[in-house]
Structure 1
C-alpha cells in the first residue's frame, strides 16, 4: 500500500507540503519501504518509485558528485538522473540508443538528456535495477535557488539594457494614445 508524501523541497518527517498558487501538489511518493519517487520539475509526470524490498531509506548510499565523476568510462559508467545515481556499466551495451549516448553523459548529470529523449514508463522501471544510491544534498541539481529577476544581470548588461524595453513600450503606448485621442 502506498502513502503519498507532500514536499516543499525539504522533508519534515514523512509528510511535508508544497504550497503553490494552484494548490497542493504531490511531489514524491512513499512506498511501503519509504522509497521516494521523483516528480519532474513540470509536475506533470511521476517517475516509477524505486522498487527495492531489502533497502530502507536509512540504507541508501549517498555519493558526492566528485565520486560520480570518477566513473566516466565505458567499463565504469555512472550517471545522475533526478538526483539518483545509476551504474549503467552493464546496461550500456544493451541501450537502444547505443553505448556512445550513455558514455557522453557518464560521470555527471544526465537528467536533461534523459528527459529530452522521452523515455517510456518501461524504460523508467527498467532503470531502477541499476539504481545504486542518491547524490549528496550539496550536489543536487534540482535545489531551488530563489533569485529575483531584477537582481539577475549578465556580465555585459548595463542599466540602459534593462530600461530599453520598458521605455520603448511606454513610448509606443504614448504615441498611440496621442494619435488615437
Structure 2
C-alpha cells in the first residue's frame, strides 16, 4: 500500500511537470533541437564561400588542419575579371588613350586565340620610379635609358570564359591608335 501511494505521488508530480506541454514544447525536445541547430551551424561554418569565381593558388592549409581567424590560407585569382598590364616604351605613348581597342595574343595558346580588350588605365609613373630601391647613377655618365609605363588592359569576360588565362603569363599587345 505504501509503494502504491508513493507511485501515485510520483505520478502526480510527473503529471504536474508535463501538464500543458506538447511534444513541441517539451524541454528535452527543445534542448535536442537546439543541439541539432548548433551542429548544422557548425557544419555550415566548415565551408568557405569565395566572394568571386576563381582559381585557388598558393594554398597554405591542409585538410583537417586548424587555423586561426584571419590567417591567410590561400590566394584566389578571379579569372573572369583578369586584366593585362602591358609595359610600353615611353616613345610609344604619343597616341595611346584610354578606351582604345587592343588585340592580345598569349604564348599560352599561341596565335590560335586572339583576345580583344580595351585600355582602361595608364600608370602615373614608370616601374623604375616606383621601385622599392630606385636605380642611382653614381658614375655621372648619363646614358638615356628608355623607360616603360604600364598600361592596364581589360579583357573580354566571354573570351576569358572560353579560353581561361593564368596569372603571370606572357602576352603580346597591339593597341589600335587610329581613333586617337
Q: Structure 2 length as normaliser, TM-score?
A: 0.19
- Structure index of larger Rg: 2
Task: Tell me which of the two structures has the higher relative contact order, counting C-alpha pairs closer than 8 angstroms and 6 or more residues apart.
Answer: 2
